[in-house]
Structure 1
């Protein structure tokens, strides 16, 4: 246990005990077809044929600026049909930044001191809307990184230019140290260090967040289709009203995370990202109905059917922001006109949807 002596301005010594750093462990599977970042959100960092699956993204409140995180990976992948299995370090015989078709993601990692190999696990820190913060980096079997300011998560994939014939999966673990701090008075005598009769100083209010946990039924629409019929019409057959998290102080950012799975008429065990076999984006249903993702910024596609959607609304339920796909987690700026955060699913027909997602929303301190 590390102990340090801190002297206050009143010359009162306090003993600060910092427990050994405890690691919060996050795990994620990285498919061999996962591209390391979204090129629509990062148009100057293009690579390859853009034929892969979305990146594996991890977002968590513990990923904070200045934290040193450790990423380790195991498993194997192959970058061609019938190719040999490779570990997270990739093909160590191919250290170039070009593949058979185009530049590899490693083309944008010129600051790396070690060679970066074809099919190596690579990644980048990203903001809540998928924009890369800082520079992309190699990961391989293991690496340590310091989280830069502005980062809300980590985006990961393989260092390849053509993903269509890849196979295999990597298992990635992210360890984030979380230290707990206890402050104890070194002198327990009443009034020590303060003049006789002087009132004790009020304790400083700890910096905190307002955390709300809600359950989202699988048949929930992301916003009121009646209140927004003129501006954001959507299909809402069999839908339940949106779940709205109240916002009393419309400032700062909201962080949203979801856990669990729900079921639809066409698929079971669908996570918050949605049914990845059903890309919706801005297409219409067969009967011409608009999905909520019709209004999501195209920069943030793909948007899947039955993915979790978030949007800010006013006190009357009118939408006051662009909707966003939550996926595995997202951080959104709160607009001035917001009185709540509405949550629901990217569907036009909610009939037969079952199950519940458990969603945590972190807001700035509310008054």
Structure 2
């Protein structure tokens, strides 16, 4: 057994030890229901060093294995539920211009959103009062994310990009705290480009994908609360879901 295959086998054994096996009834063999905690990152930044985002302070992705993915097939995902940002989260520095961070030197080039409104403390925003980047607001939002809060390829209030930076621009707008997904290989490496899910999505399977990773489009995850429920069409009546434990 090669070193690569040994590492992959070890990862799969670890997944099976942690995972929840979901059975679908014969009458609903093409539907699988998956729950995604509001603190869930859309992919593992440790495994995907070329796709850095945000503060990496969330739970690891929810992985759905065993879907028998075939290149160019289309997978339908439908999501419901609510996620909100709770009080007590970290606050970016308050200044008349965005504070330079390490991400400016080592991360993607993302732009600060031009003309972003002054939503500040008067509207109980989690971010600097002068609003120099997209910030998460307190309140409850569905899988499509926070209304009027596009993240796209912009930097957020902390100076880092959102996961949506890596989504194709033709799929914008992608809002803050929207549900997004990515196809991955057996090691959790993203295959192709991540994609928005929101309330509803049809995603095309890229070559080499063996699972779907699910999470949120956030810059900071730790102070999100709530759950999205995702229904996935599948060819099989049994899949394995690797739930996201506490970070």
Q: CA deviation at 1:23?
A: 6.2
| Contact in 1 for aligned 2:68/2:210 (Cα 8 Å) | no
| Contact in 2 for aligned 1:112/1:138 (Cα 8 Å) | no
Aligned pair 1:100/2:157, yes or no?
yes
The structure where helix makes up a greater share of residues is 2
Aligned pair 1:34/2:40, yes or no?
yes
**TM-score, with normalisation over the residues of structure 1?**
0.42
Instruction: Go from structure 1 to structure 2 and tell me whether the alpha carbon gap of 1:273 and 1:142 turns closer, same or farther (over 3 Å shift).
Output: closer
- Structure-2 separation of matches of 1:155 and 1:39: 12
- Structure-2 separation of matches of 1:135 and 1:116: 14
Q: 2:59 aligns with which of 28, 53, 66?
A: 53
Report the equivalent of 1:76: 82
| Contact in 2 for aligned 1:95/1:115 (Cα 8 Å) | yes
The structure where strand makes up a greater share of residues is 1
Aligned pair 1:127/2:185, yes or no?
yes
Report the equivalent of 1:85: 140
Report the equivalent of 2:214: 156
Q: CA deviation at 1:88?
A: 0.4
Aligned residues: 166
Q: Deviations over 1:98-135 (max 9, x none)?
A: 32212110011134333010010011000010000000
- Structure-1 separation of matches of 2:222 and 2:161: 16
- Structure-1 separation of matches of 2:243 and 2:149: 34
| Contact in 2 for aligned 1:126/1:133 (Cα 8 Å) | yes
Aligned pair 1:114/2:172, yes or no?
yes
Q: Deviations over 1:190-244 (max 9, x none)?
A: xxxxxxxxxxxxxxxxxxxxxxxxxxxxxxxxxxxxxxxxxxxxxxxxxxxxxxx
| Contact in 1 for aligned 2:63/2:243 (Cα 8 Å) | no
Q: Secondary structure at the match of 2:78?
A: strand
| Contact in 1 for aligned 2:168/2:193 (Cα 8 Å) | no
**TM-score, with normalisation over the residues of structure 2?**
0.62
Q: Deviations over 1:270-324 (max 9, x none)?
A: xx769x35x7xxxxxxxxxxxxxxxxxxxxxxxxxxxxxxxxxxxxxxxxxxxxx
Q: CA deviation at 1:61?
A: 3.9
- Structure-1 separation of matches of 2:240 and 2:75: 22
Q: CA RMSD in A?
A: 2.3
Report the equivalent of 2:92: none
Instruction: Go from structure 1 to structure 2 and tell me whether the alpha carbon gap of 1:61 and 1:73 turns closer, same or farther (over 3 Å shift).
Output: closer
Q: CA deviation at 1:63?
A: 2.4
Q: CA deviation at 1:68?
A: 1.2
| Contact in 2 for aligned 1:99/1:118 (Cα 8 Å) | no
Greater Rg by CA: 1
Any stretches of 5+ residues in structure 1 without a counterpart? 1-21, 179-256, 260-271, 280-367
Instruction: Go from structure 1 to structure 2 and tell me whether the alpha carbon gap of 1:110 and 1:148 turns closer, same or farther (over 3 Å shift).
Output: closer
Report the equivalent of 2:30: 24
